[in-house]
């Protein structure tokens, strides 16, 4: 566990934590929350249950604490699985929770929705999969029938070992963790490994997910996973554009989208997903540029991430260049912050800005002109870039509002802010 505090004194009870300080204790999550709110009303806290046997803690969403007694009374075995278990073991609070049961998953989803007074949806009746969406809490509960004859078959059919672990719904410690693919070892070694050799062949979008998870968790791909990702690149045309879009948007929202896109290019995924971006790797430029267009593009995306940090940081930037930007933009800080917390058709505006950064020069390949003196120019490339951007985003089934938003940034990226 990531925590260094000794919680043995709270064994068998719920604790509400602010950092590693106990703000409240109770026999139920509600009691712990009540005490915490009296003691630390302005702080955000995380609920954890201290296992009576081992005293090891797993971070638990207060929502899970509320619904846990109901889930424990369910007449069939129920397990928390996948990325939620992975995040708990990493000490991260999981907001999207996946549960599996032998049967009746959609019915269970509607029962849980009734507990919260929110709607439920049948995602896939054939596979018996339902979803509960708690919009105010930005949390989803997904309930699915086992993929296979039992839980172990379900876990072994998943994508990566770190996503192939399960916890009985009544447990909140690692004592009864179910880990048939040794995902705990790969978590400790911080690497992405396949559950089986055909994992990416079974669902090629997992190749993109591997790169995204590596960026999101600061993990590396194992040698076997890298090879499998390269081989799966040619199969991405079999995946729906909507699923590719969703993975791409999540990848662009990681802390290192530039490194993630560079990994996509190295592994052959960029050509399959964003061919116009991949083609920029060999497009040379004249000064003041000093590198090919793709390398320049990735630096632009990296700087956008740094600028976001400057915009939302509470202290001055140490980097002189970032400090200068912060000073120049200071009069508009509040307006910019209000703009960048907006959401356009379900997508964060900051993610769309990063996407625009990725596409801003895609028209340079087709607009490149070599002058007699050897200088390379890209006359009107911003217009061509905007057109190519709109085309690719339409292919990826982005909404019209999203396309218009990104396209306008690309079209006008040569205009100076004044």
Are residues 180 and 135 part of one domain? yes
Q: What is the reported pLDDT for 4?
A: 57
Are residues 116 and 13 part of one domain? no
Beta-carbon contacts of residue 347 (< 8 Å; ≥ 6 apart): 249, 402
Q: What is the reported pLDDT for 54?
A: 55
Are residues 297 and 269 part of one domain? no
Considering the domain boundaries, does residue 185 fall inside one? yes
Q: What is the reported pLDDT for 53?
A: 56
Of 29 and 81, the structure prediction assigns the larger pLDDT to 81
Are residues 310 and 268 part of one domain? no
Considering the domain boundaries, does residue 196 fall inside one? yes
CATH number where 203 lies: 1.10.110.30
Considering the domain boundaries, does residue 180 fall inside one? yes
Are residues 346 and 332 part of one domain? yes
pLDDT for residue 63 is more than 80? no
Are residues 370 and 298 part of one domain? yes
Range of the domain at 216: 191-273
Q: What would the 3-class secondary structure string for 331-394 be?
A: HHHHHHHHHHCCEECCEEHHHHHHHHHHHCCCCHHHHEEECCCCCEEECCHHHHHHHHHHHHHH
Are residues 390 and 298 part of one domain? yes
Structure tokens at 339: 């703009």
Out of 6-15, 123-132, 383-392, least confident range: 6-15
Q: Which of 41, 57, 73 is the C-terminal boundary of a domain?
A: 57
Q: Which of 243, 273, 303 is the C-terminal boundary of a domain?
A: 273
Structure tokens at 247: 């993975």
Question: pTM of the predicted model, to two decimals?
Answer: 0.83
pLDDT for residue 387 is more than 60? yes
Considering the domain boundaries, does residue 417 fall inside one? no
Give me the phi and psi of 164, to 5 degrees please: -115, 40
Are residues 233 and 200 part of one domain? yes
Strand partners, 186: none
Considering the domain boundaries, does residue 363 fall inside one? yes
Beta-carbon contacts of residue 363 (< 8 Å; ≥ 6 apart): 378, 380, 381, 382, 383, 384, 385, 386, 387, 388
Beta strands at 96-101 and 46-49: parallel, antiparallel or unpaired:
unpaired
Query: For residues 171-199, b (16+ Cβ closer than 10 Å) or e, as one string?
Result: bbbbeebbbbbebbebbeeebbbbbeeeb
Query: What is the average pLDDT value for the chain, to the nearest integer?
Result: 89
Beta strands at 139-145 and 96-101: parallel, antiparallel or unpaired:
parallel
pLDDT per position as a tens digit, 106-140: 999 999 999 889 999 999 999 999 999 988 778 89
Considering the domain boundaries, does residue 207 fall inside one? yes
Q: How many residues does the chain have?
A: 418
Q: Quick one: what percent of the chain has pLDDT higher than 70?
A: 94
Q: What is the reported pLDDT for 1?
A: 41
Tell me how many domains the chain contains.
4
Helices (H), 29-132: 29-39, 62-72, 83-89, 105-116
Q: Which of 37, 57, 77 is the C-terminal boundary of a domain?
A: 57
Are residues 98 and 72 part of one domain? yes
Q: Are 413 and 356 in contact (CB under 8 A)?
A: yes
Match 């009069």 to its residue by tokens: 331
Q: What is the reported pLDDT for 314?
A: 64
pLDDT per position as a tens digit, 232-271: 999 999 999 999 999 999 999 999 999 999 999 999 999 9
Q: What is the reported pLDDT for 174?
A: 76
Query: What does the alpha-carbon distance between residue 233 and residue 317 come to, in Å, rounded to a whole number?
Result: 40
Res. 392 pLDDT band, cuts 50 70 90: very high
Are residues 344 and 381 part of one domain? yes
CATH number where 139 lies: 3.30.460.10
Angle between helix axes 349-359 and 400-411 (nearest 10 degrees) is 50
**CA-CA-CA-CA torsion sign (228, 234, 238, 239):** positive
Are residues 77 and 50 part of one domain? no
Q: What is the reported pLDDT for 55?
A: 41
pLDDT per position as a tens digit, 356-381: 999 999 999 988 887 878 787 778 89
pLDDT per position as a tens digit, 207-232: 999 999 999 999 999 999 999 999 99
Considering the domain boundaries, does residue 416 fall inside one? no
Considering the domain boundaries, does residue 285 fall inside one? no
pLDDT per position as a tens digit, 158-208: 999 999 999 888 776 777 789 999 999 999 999 999 999 999 999 999 999
Beta-carbon contacts of residue 91 (< 8 Å; ≥ 6 apart): 1, 2, 3, 59
pLDDT for residue 418 is more than 60? no
Query: What does the alpha-carbon distance between residue 406 and residue 359 come to, in Å, rounded to a whole number?
Result: 9
Are residues 156 and 85 part of one domain? yes
């Amino acid at each position: 566990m990531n925590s260094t505090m000794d919680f043995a004194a709270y064994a068998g009870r719920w604790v509400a934590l602010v950092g590693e300080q106990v703000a409240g204790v109770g026999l139920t999550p509600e009691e712990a929350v009540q005490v915490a709110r009296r003691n630390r009303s302005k702080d955000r806290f995380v609920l954890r249950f201290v296992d009576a046997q081992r005293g090891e803690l797993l971070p638990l969403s207060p929502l899970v604490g509320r619904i846990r007694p109901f889930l424990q009374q369910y007449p069939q075995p129920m397990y928390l699985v996948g990325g939620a278990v992975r995040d708990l073991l990493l000490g991260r609070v999981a907001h999207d929770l996946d549960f599996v049961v032998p049967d009746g998953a959609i019915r269970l989803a509607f029962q849980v929705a009734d507990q919260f007074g929110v709607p439920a949806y049948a995602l896939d009746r054939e596979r018996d999969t339902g979803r509960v969406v708690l919009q105010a809490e930005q949390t989803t509960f997904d309930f699915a029938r086992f993929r296979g004859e039992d839980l172990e078959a379900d876990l072994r059919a998943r994508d990566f070992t770190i996503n192939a672990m399960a916890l009985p719904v009544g447990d909140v410690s690692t004592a009864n963790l179910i880990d048939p693919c040794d995902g705990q070892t790969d978590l400790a070694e911080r690497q992405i490994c396949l559950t089986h050799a055909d994992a990416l062949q079974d669902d090629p979008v997992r190749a993109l997910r591997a790169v995204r998870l590596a960026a999101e968790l600061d993990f590396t791909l194992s040698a076997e996973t890298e090879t499998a990702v390269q081989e799966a690149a040619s199969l991405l045309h079999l995946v729906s554009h909507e699923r590719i879009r969703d993975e791409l948007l999540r990848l662009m929202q990681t802390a290192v989208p530039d490194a993630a896109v560079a990994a996509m290019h190295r592994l052959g995924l960029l050509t399959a997903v964003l061919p116009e971006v991949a083609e920029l790797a060999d497009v040379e430029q004249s000064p003041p540029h000093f590198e090919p267009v793709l390398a320049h593009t990735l630096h632009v995306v990296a700087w956008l991430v740094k600028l976001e940090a400057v915009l939302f940081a509470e202290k001055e930037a140490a980097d002189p260049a970032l400090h200068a930007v912060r000073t120049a933009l200071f009069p508009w800080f509040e307006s910019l912050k209000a703009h960048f917390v907006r959401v356009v058709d379900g997508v964060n505006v900051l993610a769309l800005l990063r996407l625009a950064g990725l596409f801003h020069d895609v028209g340079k390949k087709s607009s490149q002109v070599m002058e007699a003196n050897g200088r390379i120019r890209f006359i009107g490339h911003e217009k061509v870039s905007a057109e190519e951007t709109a085309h690719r985003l339409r292919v990826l089934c982005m909404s019209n509002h999203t396309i218009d938003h990104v396209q306008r940034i690309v079209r006008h990226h040569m205009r100076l802010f004044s």
